[in-house]
Amino acid sequence: MTLFKTAMKNYRKDPVMNIIGFVQLVAVFLVTTVMVSTISIRYRTYDALEDILSSKGFYVRFGEFDGAKMPESGLYENVFYSVDKLNAYFNADPLVAVQGAWVANYLEKPDAKTSSAPLILFYDDELIERCKPVLKSGRWLSKNADKLEIVVSENDILDWKIGETYSLELFHISTYRVIEAEIVGIVENSADIFGYNRFESRGISGDTFRFLYDTHNSHNEGHLDRPTIISSSEALGRLFPEVEAHITSAFFIYDDDTPDEFIKEKAMLAGQFNGQIVDNLDDLNENSKIYLRGELLTMMPVIVILLSLLIISAISVSAIAARRRLKDYAKYYVLGLQWKQCAAVSLFQALTTAAAALLVSAAALFVIGFTPLSDVITVIVDMRLISALLGILLLYLVFSMIMPLMMLKSATPKQLLTTE
């Protein structure tokens, strides 16, 4: 406690140096947060599916038609309307799937050349857990709700509002059903929506995880971005069991010890089975990693140079400040402190400076969230960011402790006291 109090008192000394050091640390933390978030944005959608992509199996995007000709019998069967049936057919477990339905609510933009029906995506519980898009307002779907809850994309024309009831006109061959759904959340513009594949985002040298998502943008000039509705397949089945929602895309996952030949066979079957796109998970994962590495390599030089400069300058200022405090540490030594306790005083001072800089950085980022800058700066607080900040903090603290110790050990108190 004495050492901490002494460190606090030391702030009175050299206020200009203290302020420069503090401002530099704030800059380091802000730049680190923005840079790491830039990396995390690229990884976020991959991270959500990493374990699935690392598994054995394949991803299928099914074509939109009513059934499949069974290879064995040659008969058409509506296996696409039952997750369990489809799952059993491909001997896969577990299955993560997106379901869809045909929607008759055609929407027209007065000056648009085309009209568009909303895209409806029913996520199973596993996907709800993993792939919630970032919301602009409202909340995510709740479990066991007594009415069908939907989250909708931000849309300039429809101007959907939270709390509104939307009548979904669903049809399927002979059935036509209107179901009421409550809007509980609005997806942020630029959010990545899983299951909303845009075919132009297919990789040239193979699909990456980016193909599994699309970035929603309601402000595309002259383009009516397809309004998207997301709901829960569990809730649909529970509240409207008569509605048939078909599976639009799914991951078929197999045990690690499943022979590759067996999986290949099932993947080929999926292709014949109305699988518009079939991607082997190994390839999808490898391509995704190559894509992410490429993104990182593009960003790394700027990140490394910028951060190195900032960290080196922050540590240099800390070293200069420590050097200027050496005479005081020599006085403390004469009065009964040990060198390591003097280093602890320096450490406490660095620690409080760093803690204050972290708080101010967090406050600055919070304030930026209310300014136009928030359109270009996205902050993602995750383990990657926490580790990066802790790493920098540790580096700063270690240097703050080691530097005075090295300087103190290389000189006698007498030399330090007589140094101008």
Partner 1 sequence: MVELKNITKIYNPKKANEFTALKDVSLTVNDGEMIAIIGKSGAGKSTLLHILACIDNYQDGEYRIDDTLVKKLSEKELSHIRSEKIGMVMQDFALVEDFTALENVMLPLDFAQKKKPNRRELALKALGSVGLEELARKPVNKLSGGQKQRVAIARAIVNEPSLILADEPTGALDTKTSAEIMEVFKKLNDDKKTVVIVTHDPNVAKQCGRIVEISDGEII
What is the binding site for partner 1 (CB under 8 A)?
2, 5-6, 9, 12-13, 328, 331-341, 412-414, 417
Quote the longest CA-to-CA distance of the chain.
98
Least separation in angstroms between CB 54 and partner 1: 53
Least separation in angstroms between CB 304 and partner 1: 39
> Would you give the distance in Å from CA 20 to the centre of its chain?
34
Least separation in angstroms between CB 12 and partner 1: 4
Least separation in angstroms between CB 323 and partner 1: 16
| CB of 40 or CB of 346, closer to partner 1 | 346
| CB of 13 or CB of 147, closer to partner 1 | 13
| CB of 10 or CB of 33, closer to partner 1 | 10
CA distances, 24 to each of 91, 143, 389, 406 (Å) = 58, 46, 14, 23
| CB of 398 or CB of 411, closer to partner 1 | 411
| CB of 140 or CB of 339, closer to partner 1 | 339
Query: Phi/psi of residue 400, each to 5°?
Result: -65, -25
- Return the HEC string of the chain: CHHHHHHHHHCCCCHHHHHHHHHHHHHHHHHHHHHHHHHHHHHHHHHCCHHHHCCEEEEEEECCCCCEECCCCCCEECHHHCHHHHHHHCCCCCEEEEEECEECCCEECCCCCCEECCEEEEECHHHHHHCCCCEEEECCCCCCCCCEEEEEECCCCCCCCCCCEEEEEEEECCEEEEEEEEEEEEECCCCEEECCCCHHHCCCCCCCHHHHEEECCCCCCCCCCCCEEEEEHHHHHHHCCCCCCEEEEEEEEECCCCCHHHHHHHHHHHHHCCEEEEEEHHHHHHHHHHHHHHHHHHHHHHHHHHHHHHHHHHHHHHHHHHHHHHHHHHHHHHCCCCHHHHHHHHHHHHHHHHHHHHHHHHHHHHHHCCCHHHHCCCCCCCHHHHHHHHHHHHHHHHHHHHHHHHHHHCCCHHHHHHCC
| CB of 145 or CB of 417, closer to partner 1 | 417
Least separation in angstroms between CB 411 and partner 1: 11
| CB of 10 or CB of 45, closer to partner 1 | 10
Least separation in angstroms between CB 337 and partner 1: 5
| CB of 278 or CB of 416, closer to partner 1 | 416
Considering only CA atoms, which of 100, 17, 92 is closest in space to residue 57?
92
| CB of 10 or CB of 55, closer to partner 1 | 10
Least separation in angstroms between CB 352 and partner 1: 17
Least separation in angstroms between CB 296 and partner 1: 47
Least separation in angstroms between CB 420 and partner 1: 10
| CB of 175 or CB of 338, closer to partner 1 | 338
**What burial letters (b/e) apply to 37-72, b meaning 16+ CB within 10 Å?**
bbbbebbbbbebbeebbebbbbbbbbeeeeebeeee
| CB of 237 or CB of 413, closer to partner 1 | 413
Contact present, 32 and 388 (Cβ < 8 Å): yes
Least separation in angstroms between CB 346 and partner 1: 15
Least separation in angstroms between CB 8 and partner 1: 12
